[in-house]
Amino acid sequence: MLHSRVLRYIDEVARSGSIRGASERLNVAASAINKHVLQLEEDIGEPLFERLPRGLRLTPAGEILVAHVRRTMKEYSQVEAEIRDIKTLQSGEVIIATMNGLAGGIVPKVAAIFGARHPRLKITIRVMFAREIVQAVAGGEADLGFAFSLPPTPQVETLWKMDTRLGAVVAPEHPLAGMESLPLAYCQLYPLIFADKSMQIHGIVADAFAEAGLTVEPSYLTNSIEAMKFLAAAGDGIAFLSKFDITEEQRNGVLTYLQIRDRTFAKNVLSLVQRERRGHGLAAAMFAEEIIRALRATME
């Protein structure tokens, strides 16, 4: 550290109240410490210590300087710790538990970017249902959980969340694709692609149609977000997903997201979580930050 020796000398003299005391604690010749103190006083143009019969006492200028010295030394200790932590990025593993739609979109994109930056770090992506995700994070089987509608769990804390309402997802050539927003009733005129009952979004979509007084029968049922996206892109069917489910497809012009105009679907909160009261590794923390940056970018 720049001037670290002088900073240690000044700090120890202030703590010991004497050059001799600092000399004994630091195992450095008293003459060398005194020389640095005198030189610093000359450079500053103010005495740092009052010379008393029984030792040294900080002057007002010395108190200001010592406060700065201690802040600097504390910050440097933190920098040293961060540099040591970088070594953990040379090996180890980050485990993220997520849902299949996110595992086919934003998660692997972030993993690819992060993995390219830290090639020796192993990144594991596990696809689970919502309850399994919070159980894995709470039990320490996963470093991070990233999913929609995660049930609240005392052992899990939220790093980031946002309500991502479902909308109609169609191919760019779909007859409805040019509309800014879409009445739910228009959807029943086309083949509907529903998540099956094993997925939470099935209930959200089915309830929205029921509350609108619309009786519909889906043409396709699947527990695969990837299958829903493929079916929507391949014809005139309508799937019901969030913007985050189709981030890459929308960017590549494969799918279009349309907001439902006359009534909104129930909340569909997307959350990034980690285990509470646990020392989190630098790699997992940095991976979480990378996901949050990617999420914010999709919102712009």
**Contact by Cβ (8 Å): 268, 163:** yes
pLDDT score recorded for residue 299: 66
Task: Report d(CA 75, CA 77) in Å as an integer.
Answer: 5
pLDDT score recorded for residue 187: 94
Nearest in space to 290 (alpha carbons), one of 277, 272, 268, 278: 272
pLDDT score recorded for residue 277: 62
Q: Which amino acid is at 195?
A: A
Decide if pLDDT at 151 tops 80. Answer: yes
pLDDT score recorded for residue 6: 86
Give the chain's domains with CATH numbers: 4-87 (1.10.10.10), 91-162+270-299 (3.40.190.10), 167-260 (3.40.190.10)
Q: Which amino acid is at 149?
A: S
pLDDT band, residue 106 (cuts 50/70/90): confident
Per mean pLDDT, which range of 60-64, 210-214, 263-267, 275-279 is the poorest?
Answer: 275-279
CB atoms within 10 A of CB 100: 18
pLDDT digits (tens, 9 = 90+) for 160-169: 998 888 999 9
pLDDT score recorded for residue 283: 84
* The pTM of the whole model exceeds 0.85: no
pLDDT digits (tens, 9 = 90+) for 49-80: 999 988 899 999 999 999 998 888 888 776 77
Q: Is the pLDDT higher at 42 or at 103?
A: 42
Above pLDDT 70, what percent of the chain?
92
